[in-house]
Each structure stands twice: as structure tokens, then as C-alpha cells.
Amino acid sequence: MDARLLLPCALSLVLGCLPPAKVEVPDDPGGDPGGDPGGGGAGERPGADPKEPEEAAGVLPIACERPDDYGPVIVDAEQYARRYAAKALRFSELASTKDQPVEECGIAAGVELLLALTCDDGSRAFPSFEEAHGSRSGNVGSGGRCGSIIDLYRVPCPEGVHDVYIDSYICADAAMFR
């Protein structure tokens, strides 16, 4: 083997095997600069929202009980009306992630949502159900509020590609699940 290759290979092996750097983050990063010099009182940060993420977003909590092992989580009509992304009109209004996906009842309902939402300029991302369904990148494993399988859709819009994570296992009526 050429000696000129040994040194770069040895360095990449050593550097690739080093443990990640440990970064310590203090529990209280020092409060709000320019805020109350007393620290904001009672250990609360200014502007902190004590509500759970669901309540802060207007989403009602749900019990994650499934009538069937592989079926949907059944919620009441009010919970379904106030699920994640229920009122979104544009893709840019979705802040979906694997842990906080759009919640729909069935794959078809998720694809229909992709057809209904618009890009920021008002245009539609997909001309047909088939093309919207074809934007599915795959499943990203379990996530969401109930540990369901989450699908990722890559939605092309003039402003950029939106990653839309969808939990297709939240239903107000088991008969809707398809």
C-alpha cells in the first residue's frame, strides 16, 4: 500500500472514532438580557408558557387506546376537530414533525389534505390524487402522540419543498379509517 494513503486513512479512522464533544448547557441560561435584574421572579422565565404543547396549540389531549392492535386511535368529534393541523389552509402553516405530525384518519384522508392545502402563492402542489400520493417518501417509524407509524410526504411549492409528516391513525369514527 502506498504510504501517502496510510496517513489520511489512519487520521480518518482516529477522528471518526472519537467520542462526540460534551457540551454542558445550564438549566437557567441567565434569564432575559435587559429584563428584570432580579431574574423575573419565582424561577419563571419571562414569556414561558406553562401549558402542555397540545393545549398551547389549541389541540385537545387524547387517550391513545386502540380498539384493534393495528387500527386507529378513536377520539371524539371535538378532539378530532381540534387535532394538529386541522385548521391549516397552506403548507407553510404546518409545523409538522415526526413527534407532532398532521393527524388524519386514513391514508386517503392524508392525501386529500395534501390536495386541499395550497402553497404560499395560492397554487396547488399536486394536480391529482396519484401525484400527491406519489410524494410519499416513506414511513419514518413510530411517532406522534400515540406512537403510530408516521409517513413523510415531500411537497414541492414555489417557496420550497415542505416536509409533511402525517399520522393516519387518528379517527373520530372507526368506519372512516381506510
The 10s digit of each residue's pLDDT in 38-83 is: 333 333 333 333 334 444 457 777 778 887 777 899 888 888 888 8
Higher per-residue pLDDT: 37 or 89: 89
Question: How many other C-beta atoms can be found within 10 angstroms of the C-beta atom of residue 151?
Answer: 21
pLDDT digits (tens, 9 = 90+) for 77-87: 888 888 888 89
Q: Is the predicted pLDDT of residue 129 greater than 90, yes or no?
A: yes
- Flag whether 57 is in a domain: no
- Flag whether 16 is in a domain: no
Split into its structural domains, the chain has a count of: 1
The confidence score (pLDDT) of residue 150 equals 97
Question: How many other C-beta atoms can be found within 10 angstroms of the C-beta atom of residue 153?
Answer: 25
Which segments of the chain does DSSP mark as H helices, in order? Answer: 3-17, 53-56, 77-81, 107-116, 129-134
- Flag whether 153 is in a domain: yes
- Flag whether 33 is in a domain: no
5-36: buried (b, 16+ CB within 10 Å) or exposed (e) per residue?
Answer: eeeeeeeeeeeeeeeeeeeeeeeeeeeeeeee
- Flag whether 138 is in a domain: yes
Where in the sequence is the domain holding 129, given as residue range(s)? 73-172
